Amino acid sequence: MTRAAEVRFENVTKRYGGTAKAVNDVSFTIPAGTLCTLLGPSGCGKTTTLRMIAGLEYPTEGRVLIGGKDVSALPPAERDVSMVFQSYALFPHMNVLENVGYGLTVSRQPKAKVREAARAALDSVGLSGFEERLPSELSGGQQQRVAVARALVLEPSVLLFDEPLSNLDARLRRRMREEIRDLQQRLGVTVAYVTHDQAEALAISDKIIVMNQAVIAQEGTPRDLYEAPANAFVAGFVGEANRLPATLSHRQGDMAQVTIGSATLSLPHRGAAEGAVQLAVRPEAVELLDVADPATTLRGTVAKAAYLGGLMEYTLTTEAGDVFVIDSHTQRQRGVGEVVGLGLGQRGIAVLPA
Amino acid sequence: MRSAGLWSSALALAAALLLPWYMVQDGILVLSFSNGGWLTDPDGAPALGLILTDGRWWLWPAVLAPVLGLVAALVPLPRPTRSWLFLLAGGVGLALLAAQGWSIGPRGWMILWLQGQFGETEARQYGIGWGGTVVSAALCVLFAAGFAGRGAFRGDAFTATVAVVLTIAIGVFTALPILQMMAGAFRDAGGAFAPTSAVTRLVDDRLWSLGCLAGAPRCGVVWNTLLLALLTATGTTALGLAFALLVTRGRLRLARPLRWLTVLPIVTPPFILGLGLILIFGRSGLLSQAASAWFGIELGRWIYGLPGLLLAQLFAFTPIAFLVLIGVVEGLSPTLEEASQTLRADEKITFRTVTLPLLLPGLANAFLLGFVESIADFGNAVVLGGSFNVLATEIFFAVVGAQADAGRAASLSLILLVLTLVVFFLQQRATGKKSYVSISGKGDAGLPPPLPKGVRRLCLAVAGTWAALTIGLYALAFLGGFVEVWGRDYTPTLRHFVKAFSIEGGQFTGLAWNSVLTTLELAAISAPITAALGILAAWLFSRTRFAGKGALEFATLLSFAVPGTVIGVAYLAAFNLPPLELAGTGAIIVACFVFRNLPVGLRSGMAAMAQIDGSLDEASHTLGGGGMDAFRRVVLPLLRPAIVAGLTYSFVRAMTTVSAVIFLVTAETELATVFIVNRIINGDYGLAISTSLVLIVLMLVVLGVMNLLVGSRRIGRRAVAVTAASPAPLPGAVA
């Protein structure tokens, strides 16, 4: 499959009925052959966006382009797009083979070819031997695979997933997401993938588009979003972050002085103005120190400590507020009430406008 | 979109060039086809022939519009331009054809203003025939294809065609006749416009008097109608629910026979139940005579009036509630109930808090149907009403009685419509916007829980009594077909059957043959049309959003709410004149059957559609299926029970209806029901009952075959592994 196509939104707005906008003036590009996740809390407009790619909804304003072609007004059947639904939407009255072959059947392909292609697609998701089963006779994971096979059989240039793993258990979810990623890499197809699970998004995406309240909060690679969140929403939604009040001063080049509690750090200011700012601090970016220099480190008291096997989780009380810390030094366990220094480097800390 | 425009234009053009434009009095086969003579014969010529040889220039749109459509489809054009041309060709072509049709009639100009404008015309036009019909229908499709090309209906030509055809069909065959009838409410007896007389009639004391509460002999007709409808609707809904629950979840050995028993009243012409009640409870009825002979009690005429009428309607309409409710009960996902039970709710609480609320849309639906059936019922009311007058009989007597007051009939119809409207909106509010999706795209499994003991006992008691009564009623009523004269001479005889259905020397010499065969033919033509239209409409209404959907839905329901008598009179008035000159043909009866029974097919389709997750359609769309694929391959197979119900119901209604068609039949198109009513009027009960009996047997045979052909839906829920009488496999067994 080499026909992967680019998906582009140009100033797309979707209104239902009155003035409430489900999607508000959204523009983005999903490069051909990449896996792009639409990430956000429920009601943020990500599913509406996906449905507009599929053609199940039409934009009120703006254009949707697939492979450079304006498809804004095209019905789903005329777009080179397949979709895997959250509920899988397997036809309950057809067996697995009929479900998978459906797309070819309705495009009037000869029966033998339909059967052959459907078998091949089933084989590619590891479900050979299940052809005659009805959907109700399959487990959740198997239904999921049938839904994927059904979408793949048409060799679409864009494949859409609407929260495909939300009905599966955690272990299966991890395996299925790896399978989806493998499949996408193997076929080189463009995938748009809706999820509200940030770990899932980080794990499989080439690119993530974070949406909040009908607009794009930030887009970029998983690393961009995690290490340089554009705003407090993204910092909090993608991965965990402590948000601490701080003061910014002495801007010089890219760097500035940031004062938090008694400590002063030198950090990239990322465009923030002098004055009050927020610091987004990743839990694993804090180094716990026995000896602390008050000019460069915060001091904190251990309020909670939990042993999680591979790592320790602490909640520390500091003068800048409570700080949640993940520490991989499980051998050096710190008890509740112990006073420690919080070493803050440059990695895993981002300055955000207050 | 392009292909739909192409073939519809081609079809329209072919019809305009080849098919006779006007209706050919003696059938299309009398024309001389061999030498092409029909092309210029003024009676049988197609549109082009009439234009060229008879100077009928106003028929040009029939030729030019398809040509324009054809050009637009064949010439490479950008999509928007082509769509505009389709819209233009279809829309303007249709509008012009309709305008000329209603302007020039059998006596020249039909509208005085036009005559003043253009002077007298020599042109005469009669009803349109195959040519006019096919051209108009094809132009509808062309118009729809244009709509779809503009992006309406998700750009799908099939969906657009369904919407446009349905709108026009409902407009012509439901809205138009009824509006004409309503306009009659504001005319006086002479036909002149008189709004004040309408007001006088609307506030008439005969309608609104509450005198019976104060001891007067009777109340107003409106109150009578409402009271009866409320009692009937409540009763039929409760009975229907009891039966549906018993049959699906009662784990009964008798589930099968029970299903068939509930079918009996449906396949019975309505007045037969009334007649049966009279034969049992009437003054010379079996029970009354027995009571008088053995106990010296005179039961009198109690059966004539509210009690008898209510009883007859309960017998007649419970099966409808059952048909509606069984679909809903069977579609209920057992998973939800299993979930409830795992949440520490016992069977009783589950039934009350999960099962019943999930059945609410179905219950509201059944109640609505019972209500409108009751207020529209004419057959029972005329047989058993006595002095208890209801609106339906008042309207009938206003039309045909000594009063012959069309205005009063129209005013009464107006009140009836308002009543229906109120019920309709109440029902909409009751079911609200709650979603009761049960068949999701995720295959689910589970066993429906058995009924709670108390509920089961209650259902058994209610249904058992009702069943016993039904059996008794039928057994006794049909004995009347095998005795000399009921009430006087009980000697067994077969002479009624011989009289009705004798065959001598290969000739059908029996009196009833003609009407029975006509009935079968017309019912067989109308049932598939009704079912198809109903299912298509249900699919359209539940899966697409478009302006005017609510109005269209209501218009569809309308013909069901209006009593058959009114529909009959309205049809006669509306289709007695060109261009739609259908009076006296079988076509008007088929149209009447179709549009009168459409709402039932629609309703049962809607109830079933509400339980099929919309993502199934969407999945089909994203897999490259057009609207037609989604409908044919996904929705249709899942709707089998609803289709069976629709087919069944429209067939038996067509076979048993009398009120609507009593005005529409002619000697050639006499229907069995009308034949039977006439025999009853003549006091020939034996002949009436024997004909009814044959009719019923015929219907049962047809229904059995239909049920086998359509089969049951296969979605792989685990079968209920209980006794031999598994309730699972045949949702359509009702049929």
Say yes or no for a CB contact (<8 Å) between A103 and B443: no
Report the C-alpha gap between A121 and A133 in whole angstroms.
16
Average pLDDT over residues B217-226: 82
pLDDT value for A160: 93
Q: Write down the mean pLDDT value for chain B.
A: 76
Residues B8 and B86 sit within 8 Å (Cβ to Cβ): no
Report the C-alpha gap between B412 and B395 in whole angstroms.
6
Residue B439 DSSP one-character state: B
Count of alpha carbons within 13 angstroms of residue A247, beta-carbon side = 8
Nearest to A93 among B622, B638, B718 (CB): B638
Are A218 and A292 found together in one domain?
Answer: no
Are A212 and A248 found together in one domain?
Answer: no
Amino acid symbol at A226? Y
- Domain end point (choices A201, A232, A263): A232
Residues A333 and A307 sit within 8 Å (Cβ to Cβ): yes
Residue B364 CA: distances (Å) to CA of B225, B277, B370, B462, B617? 19, 29, 10, 20, 26
Can you read off the two tokens belonging to residue A184?
């996408």
DSSP-assigned letters across all residues of A75-144: -GGGSSEEEE-TT----TTS-HHHHHHHHHHHTT--HHHHHHHHHHHHHHTT-TT-TT--GGGS-HHHHH
User: How near does any CA of chain B get to the CA of A113, in Å?
Assistant: 16
Are A226 and A269 found together in one domain?
Answer: no
Nearest to B637 among A85, A93, A135 (CB): A93
Establish if A53 belongs to a structural domain: yes
Establish if A70 belongs to a structural domain: yes
Interface test with B, best of A91, A95, A105, A133 (most B CBs within 10 A): A91
- Is residue B43 within 8 angstroms of chain A, CB to CB? no
Residues B625 and A150 sit within 8 Å (Cβ to Cβ): no
Place B567 in a pLDDT band, splitting at 50, 70 and 90: confident
From B479, B487, B473, select the one nearest B276 (Cα to Cα). Answer: B473
Are A275 and A188 found together in one domain?
Answer: no
Q: Is pLDDT at A272 greater than 80 in this prediction?
A: yes
Average pLDDT over residues A14-43: 90
Which tens digits make up the pLDDT trace of A207-234? 999 999 999 999 999 999 998 898 889 9
Share above pLDDT 70 across residues of chain B, in percent, rounded to a whole number? 79
Are A95 and A160 found together in one domain?
Answer: yes
Establish if A238 belongs to a structural domain: no
Can you read off the two tokens belonging to residue B190?
């002479």
Nearest to A136 among B443, B613, B637 (CB): B443
From B234, B237, B260, select the one nearest B247 (Cα to Cα). Answer: B260
Q: Is pLDDT at A281 greater than 70 in this prediction?
A: yes
Say what angle helices B586-609 and B306-331 make with each other, to 10 degrees: 50
pLDDT value for A193: 94
Average pLDDT over residues B523-542: 87
Beta bridge partners of residue A295, listed in sequence order: none
Place A12 in a pLDDT band, splitting at 50, 70 and 90: very high
Q: Using a CB-CB distance cutoff of 8 angstroms, which residues of chain A are in contact with residue B444?
A: 136
From B660, B647, B639, select the one nearest B735 (Cα to Cα). Answer: B647
Q: Of A129-143, B175-189, B692-706, which range is least confident?
A: B175-189
Say yes or no for a CB contact (<8 Å) between A136 and B715: yes
DSSP-assigned letters across all residues of B239-285: HHHHHHHHHHHS--TTHHHHHHHHHTTTTS-HHHHHHHHHHHHSTTS
Are A28 and A127 found together in one domain?
Answer: yes
- Domain end point (choices A186, A202, A232): A232
Q: Is B375 exposed, middle or buried (0-12, 13-18, 19+ CB in 10 A)?
A: buried
pLDDT value for B435: 43
Q: Is B576 exposed, middle or buried (0-12, 13-18, 19+ CB in 10 A)?
A: middle
Residues B10 and B70 sit within 8 Å (Cβ to Cβ): yes
Enumerate domains of chain B plus CATH numbers.
2-150 (no CATH), 498-710 (1.10.3720.10)
DSSP-assigned letters across all residues of B662-721: GGT--STT--HHHHHHHHHHTT-HHHHHHHHHHHHHHHHHHHHHHHHHH------PPP--
pLDDT value for B404: 66
Count of alpha carbons within 13 angstroms of residue A44, beta-carbon side = 21
Average pLDDT over residues B428-435: 54
Nearest to A92 among B623, B715, B718 (CB): B715
CATH of residue A65's domain is 3.40.50.300
Q: Using a CB-CB distance cutoff of 8 angstroms, which residues of chain B are in contact with residue A92?
A: 439, 441, 443, 638, 715-716
Are A19 and A52 found together in one domain?
Answer: yes
Establish if A47 belongs to a structural domain: yes
Are A152 and A275 found together in one domain?
Answer: no
- 3-state SS class at B35: coil
Are A222 and A249 found together in one domain?
Answer: no
Are A289 and A219 found together in one domain?
Answer: no
Helix (H) / strand (E) element for A306: namely strand A297-307
Q: Which residues, numbered 93 to 152 in chain A, qualify as contacts with chain B under a Cβ-Cβ cut-off of 8 Å?
A: 93, 102-103, 105-107, 134-138, 143, 150-151
Q: Identify the closest residue of chain B to A77 by CA–CA distance.
A: B624
Report the C-alpha gap between B359 and B405 in whole angstroms.
44
Report the C-alpha gap between A342 and A344 in whole angstroms.
6
- Domain end point (choices A183, A212, A232): A232
Q: Identify the closest residue of chain B to A83 by CA–CA distance.
A: B622
Number of structural domains chain A divides into:
2
Which tens digits make up the pLDDT trace of A143-191? 989 999 998 888 889 999 999 888 888 888 888 889 899 989 988 899 9
User: How near does any CA of chain A get to the CA of B392, in Å?
Assistant: 42
Residues B185 and B198 sit within 8 Å (Cβ to Cβ): yes
- 3-state SS class at B420: helix
Q: What is the ipTM score, two decimals? A: 0.72
Average pLDDT over residues B563-578: 75
Which tens digits make up the pLDDT trace of B354-364? 778 778 878 88
Are A36 and A182 found together in one domain?
Answer: yes
Q: Is pLDDT at B369 greater than 70 in this prediction?
A: yes
Establish if A2 belongs to a structural domain: no
Q: Is pLDDT at B427 greater than 50 in this prediction?
A: yes
Q: Hey, CA dihedral for B330, B473, B227, B592, is it positive or negative?
A: positive
Q: Is pLDDT at A204 greater than 80 in this prediction?
A: yes
Report the C-alpha gap between B559 and B171 in whole angstroms.
11
Establish if A239 belongs to a structural domain: no
pLDDT value for B735: 27
Residue B186 DSSP one-character state: G
Are A218 and A198 found together in one domain?
Answer: yes
Nearest to B155 among A74, A89, A92 (CB): A74
Taking only Cα atoms into account, the Rg of chain B, rounded to an integer number of angstroms, comes to 27
Strands of the sheet containing A61-66, edge to edge, are A21-30, A7-15, A61-66, A69-70
Establish if A85 belongs to a structural domain: yes
CATH of residue A312's domain is 2.40.50.140
Between A202 and B441, the higher pLDDT residue? A202
- 3-state SS class at B422: helix
Q: Identify the closest residue of chain B to A155 by CA–CA distance.
A: B623
Which tens digits make up the pLDDT trace of A307-337? 988 899 999 999 888 999 999 888 888 889 9
From B329, B317, B419, B410, select the one nearest B367 (Cα to Cα). Answer: B317
Domain with A309, as residue range(s), is 244-353
Establish if A1 belongs to a structural domain: no
Report the C-alpha gap between B424 and B553 in whole angstroms.
11
Residues B142 and B9 sit within 8 Å (Cβ to Cβ): yes
Instruction: Determine how many CB atoms are found less than 10 A away from the CB of residue B504.
Output: 8
Q: Which residues, numbered 228 to 267 in chain A, qualify as contacts with chain B under a Cβ-Cβ cut-off of 8 Å?
A: none
- Is residue B441 within 8 angstroms of chain A, CB to CB? yes
Share above pLDDT 90 across residues of chain B, in percent, rounded to a whole number? 1
Residues A214 and A22 sit within 8 Å (Cβ to Cβ): yes
